[in-house]
Amino acid sequence: MPAAGGPRSRSRTHTVLALGTAQTLAWASSYYLPAMLAAPMARDLGVATPTVFAAFSMALIVSALAGPLAGRLIDRHGGRPVLLGSNVLLALGLALLGSAQGPATLVAAWLLLGLGMGAGLYEAGFAALVRLYGAEARSAITGITLLAGFASTVGWPLSAWMEVHIGWRGACFVWAGLHVLLGLPLNALLPRATAAPVATASDAALAKTRPEVPAAVGTPAAANGPAAAKAAPEPPRHTAALLSLVFALAWFVNTAMAAHLPTVIQAAGGTLALAVVVGALVGPAQVAGRLFEFGFLRRVSPLAVARAATLGHPLGALLLWTLGAPVAAVYAILHGLGAGIMTIAKGTLPLAFFGAGGYGARQGWISLPGRALQGFSPWLFGLALEHWGLQALWLSAACSLAACAVLLGLRLPLAAPAPPPRP
């Protein structure tokens, strides 16, 4: 392993900075866009606000369906061309959205944005990093989520400010321009991938699901010869399905809060101003959770970390039910801490169970149910808020607790030794 501060370490740091910034732009201009622009968009186009969220839901479903294909392309060709394509798709979708004249063009724009999201959000970023670094990608995955954790903190106020000064259409055009002027150059800085990662010693050290082979990523398994250690048993076949269920439940909650957290705070008795301030705390809390994972929890099993992370939202919800608006900030912080760590788990748990080989396609399939459920989350939780008010948090808290229960039933195939110090 290269010494800290060596050329490889600096190269990886540059990759993380570039990809993390590009991910921040991608999330802020797509996933976090409707929370601030849906209402003025609906007024101008003469449709109901739920119609805008329905179009957004369609985009999330398209994103889910596009994920496995994007993952396969990254496995074959690396992340650079796929992520560059996502910038083009997102720019075109935002430009079309800014030009929308009615429901038809509104839906068409969001469908195009859905393709860009499927090729450009976290799953694609994680797959790109695993394609480059194999099982050593955990620290890089954490790094890009640290940066992109500020997407809502940056995106919500910036979209709101632009809507006031240049209108929602102008905001869409500015975001589109940023993908061309900033997103494309940043993703172009990613290293070109070489040979596809296969079973490595890093895989064995992390998850014990592959034979022990020389440490260089890309060494063909056939070259190991008789000296290769016997492969540890594969995880049970249902493991991937259970991980899919966990991520579906977690992302239902996270998407519901991304779209409706300000409304939840108001339902608890808070003012609109308080709701905006509290909403802005989620991003920093996510980053704090990821820093905690990167520092204190980096030698802890990613499975144990994920179990603890699922409890953040229910604990915050319990406090908000009990004490109301005075603890709204605590609720947002606890929710953000758990959501931030679960984002990392979405990248590291499949790596821990299955290794780096074929990671992109597998990640796409594991993520597909959750990303599809995301499409219904804003609508379903919005209905719950409308009919139940603050008691709608029973739904989101139950989802989080169910995810925790599933994780408690999973076991890594073999107890892996602590990972080596990160460069």
Report the CATH number at residue 240.
1.20.1250.20
Q: Which residues of 232-245 are buried (b: 16+ CB within 10 A; e: fewer)?
A: beebeeebbebbbb
- Domain assignment present for residue 196? The answer is no
Nearest alpha carbon to residue 185 among 295, 21, 46: 21
Q: Is residue 204 part of a domain?
A: no
Q: Are 59 and 372 in contact (CB under 8 A)?
A: no
The reply to whether 253 and 174 lie within a common domain is: no
Quick check: is 415 in a domain? no
Neighbouring residues of 383: CB distance < 8 A, sequence distance ≥ 6 = none
Crossing angle for the helix pair 138-148 and 328-354, nearest 10 degrees? 150
Report which residue type is found at 4.
A
- 108 and 178 in a single domain? The answer is yes
Helix (H) or strand (E) holding 49: helix 49-77
Q: Which residue has the tokens 């839906």?
A: 107
Chosen domain end from 188, 221, 247: 188
**pLDDT the model gives residue 192:** 83
Among 188, 219, 245, residue at a domain's last position: 188
Evaluate whether residue 221 is within a structural domain: no
**Per-residue pLDDT at 140:** 86
pLDDT tier, 323 (very low <50, low <70, confident <90, very high otherwise): very high
| pLDDT band for position 217 (cuts 50, 70, 90) | very low
In a domain, 124, yes or no: yes
Please tell me whether residues 158 and 22 are part of one structural domain. Answer: yes
Domain C-terminal end among 167, 188, 209: 188
- Mean residue pLDDT of the chain comes to 82
Same domain, 184 and 262: no
Identify the burial level of 164 via C-beta atoms within 10 angstroms of its C-beta, where 0-12 means exposed, 13-18 middle and 19 or more buried: exposed
Same domain? 147 vs 250: no
Domain match, 157 and 265 both: no
**Residue 332 and residue 68: Cα distance in Å, rounded?**
32
Is residue 177 located within the same domain as residue 268?
no
Counting Cα atoms < 13 Å in the Cβ hemisphere of 416 gives 30
Percent of the chain with pLDDT over 90: 38
Residue 207 lies inside a defined structural domain of this protein:
no
Q: Same domain for 261 and 118?
A: no
Same domain? For 181 and 295 the reply is no
Shared domain for 79 and 177, answered yes or no, is yes
Alpha-carbon gap, residue 114 to 2, rounded angstroms: 40
Query: How remote is the C-alpha of 43 from its chain's centroid?
Result: 30
Neighbours of 93 (CB within 10 A): 27
Domain that holds residue 72: 10-188
What pLDDT is recorded for position 406? 94
Does residue 335 fall inside a structural domain? yes
259 and 180 within one domain: no
Closest CA to 240 of 332, 353, 125, 348: 353
Percent of the chain with pLDDT over 70: 84
Would you say the pTM of this structure is higher than 0.85? no
* pLDDT category of residue 131 using cuts at 50, 70 and 90: confident
* Highest-scoring range by mean pLDDT, 38-47, 86-95, 147-156, 208-217: 86-95
> How many domains in the chain?
2
In a domain, 64, yes or no: yes
What is the tens place of the pLDDT at every residue in 329-376?
999 999 999 998 888 888 888 888 887 778 777 877 888 887 777 778
Give the phi and the psi of residue 281 in degrees, each rounded to 5.
-80, -20
- One domain for residues 128 and 273: no
